[in-house]
Structure 1
Amino acid sequence: MLFKNIGTQLLKILEDNVDKENRQWLFSKIEGIVESESTKDLYLTYSLVPAKIKSEKDLSLLLDDKELKDYLEVQHANLQQIGRIYLLYKVLEAKEEFFKAKVANIIEVADKGELETFLKFLVLLPHPENYKVQAVEALRTNISTVFDAIALNNPYPALYFNEQQWNQMYLKAAFMQQNLNEIVQVEKRGNKELARIISDYAHERWAASREIDPCFWRPVGNFMNDKLLKDMKRLFASENMAERKAAALCCYHSNSSEAKAMLEGYSELVKGIESGNITWGNIKE
């Protein structure tokens, strides 16, 4: 599991932010759902959480686990989302075999906001790998906020998607012109097939005189072949500084001696990378 003591830490957030009466409402609902094994009450309570779990103040995140705190902050977690995930966490903790399929079915019955919460925080549930089918299904959506919930700032795909699923997500994010720097573990999940597709797609865009997001090249560094080396040469020759920086980053971090050799003559770019002034996060600046 990526984070530890998740249930305890979610409970602390609720205790720090929700009044006793409304906390008790949620606790009693969880107890009733577990005892009665009521699927209907689970879905109803999941929908009703925002009516009860709310606060006039900004969300207070006083957690011992810095990684969990950072994750909740980067996902802009709100109190209603914390309440909903706590509900799912507790029913699964109590009776996982019974509630596993019911929780998975939320993707079928939830509205857009409820679905986004489920996808954003899947990784916090017990045995999150049980919901990979639902996570992959979400990639098919045409609703950008639903797609973003699973694809951006979310460790789930890097942890659980296979190569084909990962590639599908990365390419769709590029086609939708999302911020590719918000995809977690891009270099780690790079692969030969994805590098091939990136090159092919770039050639199609170039043939049509269309621009390519320089960050699109990020996964190719360790999969250089003759075609990709020619692509790097083209990027280095570009009038667009962001494309030259992208080529430098790909070659600098590559395991290919031929790619590293291409950095000769671009000492300023190399210095920028080594000093931390050129990163994938700022190449467009």
Structure 2
Amino acid sequence: MFDNLEVDLEGLLKKNLVKSEFDWIAKAINETIDSASSRKLYLNYSLCNSKIEDEELSEFKSIPSHLGQYLSLKKASGRELSRIWLLREVLENDESFVDAVKKLIEISDTAELETFLKYLTLLPNPQNYQFAAVEALRTNIATVFDAISQYNPYPVKFFTDQQWNQMFLKAAFMQQDLGAIANIDERANADLARIISDYAHERWAASRTIDPLFWRPVSNFLTGTLVNDIKRLFSSENPRENKAAALVCFNSKLTVAEDLLKEYPKLREEIKEGSLTWQTL
């Protein structure tokens, strides 16, 4: 996903950390690799808390724009990336550290766990740590759930449909920013479309509102009840629901969606012009 990470992370940290911090983490990495000791890894990982300030990074010019955008969206800090750089380097140099890293995840505190989850995709063979990502779907701690669900490329690549659907539904239930979930269109599936409809009917029955972004994954699964759901959105007094319905139909390959959108030419024109998108909604 990201090429030349070792070089990019080192360069990024060198630009953002004060010299004493950078020198310490570079030395800690070398000492850990040379020792081949899990205990040394745990010690240096823990010492990051006192040796490196938890300051958000501000200088991304030394790395590719797509990596910089990812880290910026995650509000990456020097301490977080120092820990990830440490883990990357020891894992790249000695695969026997995999079990030690797994153990580190299991015993980590909340802040450390958030760091793991945010940047799992930066570790070598990130599928080795899927257990931590899946476990995060069960948490009631919003920041931990956010770490895996918000602006994170890991779920789209490593989650099953069932796990991804669980994450999307829980994000809606927790009233998180659905627009911050990566690759929604890519992971859309028939089961999720059905779940979305069922959940929406529960909310409507309780006279509760639904984030219009919730409907994004249903575009290519408009059959039966879902067709009526989209008609309901079109007839809603909430303009955002009207727009969501139009976006669902515009992005669908189904004839029924095209026929529905024909009745709302103004919304269709806004989408064609680019003024109405899921992002602007």
Pair in the same fold by TM > 0.5? yes
Partners of 2:149 and 2:17 in 1: how far apart? 30
Output the CA distance in 2 between the equivalents of 1:55 and 1:19.
12
1:249-274 superposed Cα distances (whole Å, 9 cap, x missing partner): 00110111011110122111111111
Q: Tell me if structure 2 keeps the 8 A contact 1:174–1:180.
A: yes
Indicate the residue corresponding to 1:202 in structure 2: 200
Identity among equivalent positions (%) equals: 50
Report the equivalent of 1:120: 118
Residue 146 to residue 56, structure 1, CA distance change in 2 (3 Å): closer
Q: Tell me what 2:268 maps to.
A: 270
Q: What is the distance in 2 between the residues matched to 1:198 and 1:184?
A: 18
Check if 1:106 corresponds to 2:110: no
For the pair 1:261 / 2:259, whether they are aligned, the reply is yes
8 A contact 2:184–2:216 mirrored in 1: yes
- Identify which range, 62-71 or 140-149, moves more after superposition: 62-71
Map 1:23-102 onto structure 2 (within 5 A).
23-54=22-53, 59-96=58-95, 98-102=96-100
**DSSP-derived class of the 1:195 partner:** helix
SS in 1 for 2:258: helix
- Letter of the 1:231 partner, please give it: D
Q: Which residue of 2 aligns with 1:16?
A: 15
Q: In 2, are the aligned partners of 1:120 and 1:154 still within 8 Å (CA)?
A: yes
Cα distance in structure 2, aligned partners of 1:64 and 1:86:
15
Contact 2:115 2:147 in 1 (8 A): yes
User: What runs of 5+ residues in structure 1 fail to find an aligned partner?
Assistant: none
Shift of 1:55: 8.5
Residue in structure 2 matched with residue 166 of structure 1 by the alignment: 164
Structure 2 residue runs without a partner (length 5+): none
Report if aligned partners of 1:18, 1:55 keep a CA contact under 8 Å in 2.
Answer: no
Q: Mean Cα displacement is larger for which, 80-89 or 9-18? A: 9-18
Q: CA deviation at 1:104?
A: 2.0
Describe the SS at the equivalent of 1:105.
helix
TM-score scaled by length of structure 2? 0.95
Q: Distance in 2 between matches of 1:19 and 1:80?
A: 12
Provide the secondary structure at the position in 2 that maps to 1:190.
coil
- Higher mean Cα deviation, 251-260 or 107-116? 107-116
Shift of 1:54: 3.5
Aligned in 2, Cα 1:8/1:173: closer, same or farther, shift over 3 Å? same
Q: Distance in 2 between matches of 1:46 and 1:73?
A: 23
Q: Which amino acid aligns with 2:24?
A: W
Once the two structures are overlaid, the 10-residue window that deviates more, 124-133 or 42-51, is 42-51
Q: Which residue of 1 aligns with 2:2?
A: 3
CA 268–83 in structure 1, closer or farther in 2 if over 3 Å, else same:
same
Residue 70 of structure 1 aligns to which amino acid in structure 2? Q
Letter in 1 for 2:122: L
Aligned partners of 1:199 and 1:121: how far apart in 2?
32
CA RMSD of aligned residues (A): 1.6
CA contact (8 A) 1:17 1:55 kept: no
Distance 1:240 1:88, change over 3 A: same
Partners of 1:58 and 1:137 in 2: how far apart? 28
Q: Normalising by structure 1, report the TM-score.
A: 0.94
Counterpart Cα distance in 1 of 2:254 and 2:73:
34
Return the alpha-carbon distance in structure 2 between the equivalents of residues 41 and 59 of structure 1.
30
- Other structure's SS at 2:184 match: coil
Matched, 1:155 2:153: yes
Is 43-52 or 153-162 further displaced after alignment? 43-52
- Summarize the Cα distance change of 1:235–1:102 in structure 2 as closer, same or farther, 3 Å threshold: same
Report the Cα distance in structure 1 between the residues aligned to 2:168 and 2:54, rounded to whole angstroms: 36
